[in-house]
Chains A and B, each alone.
Chain A
């Protein structure tokens, strides 16, 4: 049996979300229908609001509701030290350390021929333009360790090294508090290769 059109529309829209299949979409739809009217409206307006008010920061391309964003605007943050990350969630992860005092550049993806994403589809030109303004001393490439994250890091290396600024890659190895015997072999080998003098 088919659902009435409004339910079917809701299910269809929910099923477009990442990680949500048709079964989960159905479950979410019925959950929403069973909640008080006001709650559903709160969710709807939160979605609309976020879409309407959030845009890219013109400097770092992180999501923001003010341009430039709070990090780019903050005079206490080092504008000469830029960390390049794949997604806004990576900025949030790094910010949780409260230690990194530089600024960010969000690429919004990684280079992947199979997904039709080239350097121009992520914010690399914008990064280059930013470097050419002359204040950047060091670029820390913090893309992930996936194949595509690694390829993007290599690409940035080639692109930016000739410009004469320092470019570094974050290290890979053991998680803190992690046991050796729970660590996969590749990570262990990387940790061994990256060993440091005591």
Chain B
């Protein structure tokens, strides 16, 4: 599946833009702050019916407008055309329009490095983002779990008596077990690809990534009954410390390079290689899972990559059955790709040259 004829209205600093997309490589050139990344975010919302991590409704609707809409024509695998649409109207009650099939998308951006360098939350986001695309029940489940943890924490802080608080603990256990199962399944799909790509980029160092269940020790526990038992076992301690200690909200991925924590000991370059391997692995997982290559979005990443890593990414883009959108501050040599260019000035997109 791929998208053509993209139209973006009232999205961030873009008033109204029409961009012709081609199958293959699309490059949007422009100075910083002119709307390239905004347009790419709009494309992500349209493709996955979901925002990229870190933004929400309130961030995307243009400041002086009550609504935003992104639409495009989606060409399906059977070569039929359907309209794909995502819109939000703010106001006293928020309305949302989603139309058209979901097109899995992989986003590369300067913030990817934080998957290795940042805190556990960033690694949870990495897993969640993939899990949500593979398993539609993941996002609603995670939202329910997060709310249950908030309720439980409030109860713990205010020393609620047991029976009333137990029910929230119970929900943390049951939804938590499922979230753990889905995260584990997601990681199992990603790992072989992460390792293979990493070996390709770095012959000398060996990478090991481990799922660390929040507040649990020893082997993974995924079965609901056992999860409940383990949660109950630490409930007393949670009461004492007045905070939830066990659950997916405290998960992390242990990323080790040659048996040392990559977060602390790896060089910036090594961290970048790991982050790139993790991202490219998503591409493979989506391709396997959906039996079609995903939409690839590269937000201002070439300036930070050395020749070898750039060449690897270009290898992926050279595949003709896939759609790629790149934002950059200047046109650069993209090897065998024959990209279509757009120039972006103040939120206005013009074909170029």
Q: Which residues of A contact B (CB under 8 A)?
A: 19, 21, 23-24, 111-114, 118-119, 147-148, 150-155, 158-159, 184-186, 189
Contacts and interface: CB of A to CB of B under 8 A. Distances in A.
A147 B151 contact: yes
Interface of B: 92-93, 136-137, 140-141, 144, 147-148, 150-152, 154-155, 158, 160, 163-168, 170-171
Given A148-B151, A151-B151, A155-B163, A113 B137 contact: no
Given A19-B92, A24-B92, A113-B152, A147 B147 contact: yes
A152 B168 CA distance: 9
B92 A152 contact: no
Given A118-B164, A119-B164, A147-B171, 6 more contacts: A113-B165, A147-B144, A147-B151, A152-B167, A154-B170, A155-B166
A36 to B, nearest CB: 28
A158 B166 CA distance: 9
A154 B141 contact: no
Nearest to B175: A147
Nearest to A154: B167
Contacts of A114: 150-151, 154
A65 to B, nearest CB: 32
Contact of B140 (A113, A153, A185): A185
Max chain A Cβ within 10 angstroms of own Cβ: one of B152, B155, B158, B168: B168
B154 A111 contact: no
A158 B168 CA distance: 13
A155 to B, nearest CB: 4
A112 B151 contact: yes
Contacts of A147: 144, 147-148, 151, 171
Contacts of B144: 147
A187 to B, nearest CB: 10
Nearest to B162: A158
Contact of A21 (B92, B147, B148, B155): B92
A161 to B, nearest CB: 12
A184 B164 contact: no
A151 B164 CA distance: 8
29 contacts: A21-B92, A24-B92, A111-B164, A111-B167, A112-B151, A113-B151, A114-B150, A118-B164, A119-B163, A147-B144, A147-B148, A147-B151, A147-B171, A150-B167, A150-B171, A151-B148, A151-B151, A151-B170, A151-B171, A154-B166, A154-B167, A154-B170, A155-B163, A155-B164, A155-B166, A155-B167, A158-B166, A185-B136, A185-B140
